[in-house]
Amino acid sequence: MSVPRVKRLAAFVADQIAAGEVVERPSSIVKELIENSLDAGATQIDVRTEAGGVALTWVQDNGHGIDAQDLELAFERHATSKIVDAKDLLGVESLGFRGEALASLSSVARVKLSSAIAGSASGAVREVHGGKLVHQGPIAHNQGTTVDVRDLFFNIPARRKFLKTQRTEMSRIDQVVRRLSLAHMGVGFSLQQAGENASSKARRFALPAGRINERLTQVLSKSFVDESVVIEESRDDYRLHGWVGLPNHHRRQTDQQFFYVNGRAITDKVVGHAIRQAYADVMFHGRHAVFVLFLELPPAVVDVNVHPTKHEVRFRDARRVHDFIFGSLNRVLREVRPDAVENASAPANTAQEPTTQYNTWKSPSAQPGLVLSGPGGSNSGLLPLVAEHSPAWSVLDSTSKTLQAHMDTPPLGFAIAQLHGVYILAQNQQGLVMVDMHAAHERVTYEKLKAQAAKQYVSRQRLLVPAHVDVSVAEADLVEDMAEQLQAVGLVVERVGQQAVSVREIPALLSQQDIQLMITDLLAELAEFGASEEISRRQLDLLASVACHGSVRANRALSLLEMNTLLREMEHTENAGLCNHGRPTYFTYAMEALDKLFYRGQ
User: Looking at the domain assignment, is residue 305 inside a domain?
Assistant: yes
491: helix, strand or coil: coil
Q: Which residues of 310-329 are buried (b: 16+ CB within 10 A; e: fewer)?
A: beebebeebebbbebbbebb
Regarding whether 379 and 262 lie in a shared domain, the answer is no
Regarding whether 432 and 387 lie in a shared domain, the answer is yes
Regarding whether 323 and 401 lie in a shared domain, the answer is no
Regarding whether 232 and 200 lie in a shared domain, the answer is no
User: Looking at the domain assignment, is residue 367 inside a domain?
Assistant: yes
191: helix, strand or coil: strand
Going through 393-436 in order, the beta strands assigned E by DSSP cover 396-397, 402-403, 414-419, 423-427, 431-436
What's this model's pTM, rounded to 2 decimal places? 0.71
Which CATH number goes with the domain that contains 415? 3.30.1540.20
Candidates 537, 498, 497; CA nearest to 517 is 537
User: Looking at the domain assignment, is residue 63 inside a domain?
Assistant: yes
129: helix, strand or coil: strand
Regarding whether 370 and 329 lie in a shared domain, the answer is no
Regarding whether 428 and 282 lie in a shared domain, the answer is no
User: Looking at the domain assignment, is residue 272 inside a domain?
Assistant: yes
User: Looking at the domain assignment, is residue 439 inside a domain?
Assistant: yes
How confident is the model at residue 206, as a pLDDT?
95
pLDDT tens profile 504-540: 998 876 777 788 888 888 888 777 766 676 667 667 7
pLDDT tens profile 122-159: 999 999 999 899 999 999 999 999 999 999 998 888 88
Regarding whether 192 and 59 lie in a shared domain, the answer is yes
Tell me how far apart the alpha carbons of residues 54 and 249 are, in angstroms, rounded to a whole number. 36
pLDDT tens profile 26-35: 999 999 999 9
Regarding whether 181 and 159 lie in a shared domain, the answer is yes
User: Looking at the domain assignment, is residue 117 inside a domain?
Assistant: yes
How confident is the model at residue 355, as a pLDDT?
44
Going through 264-413 in order, the beta strands assigned E by DSSP cover 264-265, 288-289, 291-296, 302-303, 314-315, 337-338, 358-359, 396-397, 402-403
Where the chain has pLDDT below 70, the residues are 1, 9, 11-22, 78-99, 196-200, 305-310, 336-407, 456-458, 509, 529-531, 533-535, 537-538, 541-542, 545-547, 549-550
User: Looking at the domain assignment, is residue 122 inside a domain?
Assistant: yes
> Which secondary-structure segment (H or E) carries 130?
none
- DSSP string computed for 76-122: STT--SS--SGGGGGG--SS--SS-HHHHHHTTSEEEEEEE-TT-SS
Rg from Cα positions in the chain: 30
- DSSP string computed for 367-385: ----B---TT-TTS-SPPP
Regarding whether 86 and 18 lie in a shared domain, the answer is yes
How confident is the model at residue 405, as a pLDDT?
44
Which CATH number goes with the domain that contains 485? 3.30.1370.100
User: Looking at the domain assignment, is residue 3 inside a domain?
Assistant: no
Number of domains in the chain: 4
Regarding whether 180 and 97 lie in a shared domain, the answer is yes
Regarding whether 240 and 172 lie in a shared domain, the answer is no
Which CATH number goes with the domain that contains 239? 3.30.230.10
Domain that holds residue 15: 11-209
Which CATH number goes with the domain that contains 204? 3.30.565.10
> Which secondary-structure segment (H or E) carries 22?
helix 11-22
Candidates 72, 149, 70; CA nearest to 108 is 149
What are 424's strand-pairing partners? Answer: 418, 435
Regarding whether 92 and 46 lie in a shared domain, the answer is yes
Candidates 253, 243, 202; CA nearest to 223 is 243
Going through 180-262 in order, the beta strands assigned E by DSSP cover 188-194, 203-207, 228-235, 238-245, 250-251, 257-261
Q: Of 147, 174, 209, which residue is a domain's last?
A: 209
How confident is the model at residue 576, as a pLDDT?
86
